[in-house]
Amino acid sequence: MQPISTSLSRLGGTAIAMFFAALQLSGQSAAASLQIEASAVYVDSVVIVRWAPANLETWRWGNAEGYDLVRYTVIDQGDTLNGNQYDSSMVSLATALKPLPENEWESYADSNDLAGVAAGAIYGDSLDLLPPDGPSLLNIYYKSKEVENRFSFSLFAADQDISVAEMMGLAYVDTSVAAESKYVYWIKPHDPDSLAEIRNGFALIQTDSNFVLPVLTGLKGHGGDSVAILNWQRNDQYFTSYVVERSTDGTNFIQMNERPLISAASLGADDGTIAFSDSLYANEVAFIYRVRGRSPFGLLSAPSDTVHVTGKPGPIFALLSVEGIEEVNEGKLTITWNFPEEMESQILGFDVYRGPGPEGPFEKLTEEKLDSSIREFDDVEPNPVNYYQIRTTDVNGYALHSFPRLGQTKDETPPSKPGTVVGEADASGLVTLHWPHNPEPDVMGYRVFMSNTTSGDFAQVTSVWLNDTTFQYELNLNTLNEYVYFGVTALDYHHNESVMSDPASVVRPDIIPPAPPLITTVESTPSGVTFEWLGSSSPDAYSYEFQRKVVGLPGWTVLLEFTAEEPDSGFVDSTASKRRWYQYRLVAIDKVGNRSGSRVVKAKPINDGLRDAILNFTGSLVSSGGSDNGHALLEWDYPKDVDLIGFQIYRGYDSSSMFSYRFFPYPLPSTIDYADMSVTPDGNMLKCQFLDYDIKFMDYAKSTFTYFYNSSIDVNQAVPPPPTTPPATDSPQTYNMGNPAQSKPGALKYWVMAKFADGSYSPLAGPVSINL
């Protein structure tokens, strides 16, 4: 009798496909987590219940303590039970159900390999003792892997044989069920630890119809020399193993596989099929095969459709080879081959095939099979290139053929001149050439040549001949040649070479910038900076940009653009600030965008202390929407200036009585105190507006006007505090003014001046007069 501890070796190395897909066979948590998976089927008036531990911890607990199995009735012979009836229907079917003791497995293991596997997995003692000097990391690793393997093999054995599952405490056959009923089975760990996380097994089953396994499909078979090869579609959802049966009369079948046939043990690839090889005791005898699936409940499916397989002897062992190919007569090739004379009786004659290459495709030249004694054949209309192959079939139906061999007729005529070559280069210098196929059938390939001039020597740029009509070549771009030229020749299989095609011109990508231009004159004046220059000497210079930037700041601004066809020889920069230094350069640009700049020069206008004058200073009367005639609106323009801090507004009856009236800051604060002011950028200019709310013009016929303000007015005071809008509610103050004619209005005058951060001012603008 074989020891139980060694029974695992009978299935050593086999990969297991488990029935319970949710099981995790490795990486279990060290925390106590007892989880059970369960399922059940009803067949032949009994319910078969199967369960399995979902992790290694549960497996160990079940082996030591066992499982409790209880049943509840949901429907009893067609009658649905209420809650109390359901609770009272509980039946304890098994308590502390666990594997048989080790000594009781001996008799089963001797006759049942799977029983030996299960017992060895549960009770085997391999690697139980760690080295006396203490465990190493490697020993601990091997020990953990061994325990995981035992767990896997034990569940595998239970899935293959229901009787083994019962002996392991993982199955129960309930014979006390009634038809037309529904039952709930609960499987629980027996006497679990109070701290353990528990998930009990659960199975719901109805007994109104028998469970029927599906029939396996896709069975195919073919015979070899004393062997039958079978293939069929596997069904892992229902079956854990398969049974192959054979018959010679179609009635009496016997099982051909002694041990369970599982997916991992088959010969097939991972294409969803199972393969099985069966030895035949004789060829030329028809054998009938069918297959069945075995479920983890110990049930066999109905047989599949049958397939007939007949063995046949293997192919003969003989060498068939082409001996030679010669042009005996002009334009005709004679092919000879070798084959053993003593084996002529074992073949069905010869066929000669011809193809354009060693890989084919091949066409048959012989209308009928040549006699087995013939070793020669004439091809009277050979192609320029011919690969010949000799084929035969032996008496057992196996094909035998020679290796292809090249044969050609003599040829000294070169191919015709290749057609038009077309090419273009991308920005990186990669040239792509195309040309049409030559019309001759014997053209083997093409060679490509290149030159920098049409009249120069063309150098071959293909290291070997090309069998395509497309070619790519990487150009050297560090040269001044604008064009490069390519030609193509055709080559036949006798290495006859055609004349070269007409050269194709390809524009070489231009990565070389034009020669830099030269700024020859820089002259500063109070009104600006004057420049003169010489353009680029390169003929491909296409356009120019004259650029400026503030010293110390990024970004160049284009001041002038012109082309080489309409050149400019100079420029006056009248927009430069007298208080800033600038850098200037002239940039030459070619047609593809390559750029080169002149030497950068530094300049600024001569600072004479003067600031730009106020422009377009006007005043007008605007309606206030009331009974009075309105307020004074002042408008002016001023060039943008980084040092500008605002504008000083003056007011008076005439120049002798003018006083500093209001300061107009720039930029404007966003508060209501400055709602009477506005600034709008317009290109390089600022458009400014000021609305004088302090004046309400009354009847022109009167010699007085009302002036609203918060405090007493001193016409000689400096800049007064800003007014509110509308003016304060103090009582109006009345001033008399001289008016030569009471029927005509007097005039109020305004002046404005720009103020800068360095304390300087622009020239005073004004006055503008507004009639009262």
pLDDT at 723: 40
SS3 content of the chain, % helix, strand, coil (to 5): 10, 40, 50
The structure tokens listed for 547 are 């650029």
Fold topology of 422-505? Immunoglobulin-like (2.60.40)
Task: State the greatest distance between any 2 C-alpha atoms of the chain, in Å, as a whole number.
Answer: 150
The whole-angstrom separation of Cα 234 and Cα 271 is 10
What is the rounded CA–CA span in Å between residue 78 and residue 82? 13
Rounded Cα–Cα distance for residues 147 and 205 (Å): 34
**Burial class for 342, CB neighbours closer than 10 Å (0-12, 13-18, 19+):** exposed
Cis peptide before 667 (omega within 30 of 0): yes
The string of pLDDT tens digits covering residues 322-351 is: 999 999 888 899 999 999 999 999 999 999
Q: In the prediction, which pLDDT does 656 show?
A: 82
pLDDT at 725: 40
- Give the pLDDT confidence score for residue 746 in this predicted structure: 66
pLDDT higher for 618 or 511? 618
User: Regarding beta strands 631-639 and 601-603, do their DSSP bridges make them parallel or antiparallel, or are they unpaired?
Assistant: unpaired
The structure tokens listed for 719 are 């800049």
Q: What is the model's pLDDT at position 705?
A: 40
Tell me what pLDDT residue 20 has.
39
Strands (DSSP E) contained in 578-655 are 582-590, 595-597, 601-603, 615-622, 631-639, 644-652
Return phi, psi of residue 518, to 5°.
Answer: -135, 125
Which pLDDT belongs to residue 141? 57
**Given a cut of 80, is residue 593 above it in pLDDT?**
yes
Please say if the pLDDT value at position 736 is more than 90. Answer: no
Could you tell me the pTM of the whole model? 0.49
Q: Which residue has the higher pLDDT, 86 or 540?
A: 86
454-479 residue pLDDT tens: 888 999 999 899 989 999 999 988 77
Annotated domain spans of the chain: 4-206, 220-310, 321-407, 422-505, 518-603, 615-771
Tokens for 611?
Answer: 């600031």
Chain-centroid distance of CA 418 in Å reads: 43
Q: pLDDT band at residue 516, thresholds of 50, 70 and 90?
A: very high
**Does residue 696 register a pLDDT over 90?**
no
Q: What is the mean pLDDT of the chain?
A: 84
> Rounded to whole angstroms, how far apart are CA atoms 309 and 279?
12
Strands 399-401 and 631-639: unpaired
For residue 648, pLDDT beyond 50: yes
Q: Which residue has the higher pLDDT, 613 or 30?
A: 613
Report whether pLDDT(184) > 90.
Answer: yes
pLDDT at 744 over 50: no
Higher pLDDT, 493 or 372: 372
| DSSP run (H or E) holding 158 | helix 137-160
More confident residue, 239 or 22: 239
Residue 144: pLDDT over 70: no
Contact 451, 459 (CB under 8 A): yes
Closest to 586 in 3D by CA, of 525, 527, 534: 534
DSSP state of 590: E
Fold of 4-206: Immunoglobulin-like (2.60.40)
Residue 611 has pLDDT above 70, yes or no: yes
How confident is residue 588, by pLDDT bands cut at 50, 70 and 90?
very high
Query: Over pLDDT 70: what percentage of the chain?
Result: 84
pLDDT of 664-680, one tens digit each? Answer: 999 998 887 788 899 99
Give yes or no for residue 412 having a pLDDT over 80.
Answer: yes
The per-residue pLDDT for range 86-114, each reduced to its tens digit, is: 999 999 999 999 999 999 998 888 888 88
Question: CA-CA distance, 187 to 502, in Å (whole number)?
Answer: 89
How many CA atoms within 13 Å lie on the side-chain side of 395? 7
Do 486 and 448 contact (CB within 8 A), yes or no?
yes
| pLDDT higher at 58 or 18 | 58
Q: Give the Cα separation of 405 and 95 in Å (integer).
A: 80
- What was the pLDDT predicted at 610? 78
Q: Which of the four pLDDT bands, split at 50, 70 and 90, describes residue 655? A: confident
| SS (HEC) of 191-212 | CCCCCCEEECEEEEEECCCCCC
> What pLDDT was estimated at residue 62?
93
Q: What pLDDT is stored for residue 4 in this prediction?
A: 33
Instruction: Tell me which of 167-171, 449-453, 492-496 is least confident.
Output: 492-496
How does residue 139 score in pLDDT terms, banded at 50, 70 and 90?
low
pLDDT at 709 exceeding the cut of 90:
no
> Beta strand 67-76 with 504-507: parallel, antiparallel or unpaired?
unpaired
More reliable by pLDDT, 718 or 177: 177
Per-residue pLDDT tens digits for 426-442:
988 899 999 999 998 88
Tell me the mean pLDDT in the region 35-46: 95
Domains 220-310 and 321-407 agree in fold: yes
Query: Tokens 């005996």 appear where?
Result: 328
Pick the CATH number of 321-407 from 1.10.10.10, 2.60.40.10, 2.30.30.40, 2.60.120.10: 2.60.40.10
pLDDT(653) > 90: no
User: Who contacts 557 (Cβ-Cβ below 8 Å, separation ≥6)?
Assistant: 547, 548, 549
Q: How confident is the model at residue 716 (pLDDT cuts 50, 70, 90)?
A: very low
Annotation: CATH topology of 518-603: Immunoglobulin-like (2.60.40)
CATH annotation of 220-310: 2.60.40.10
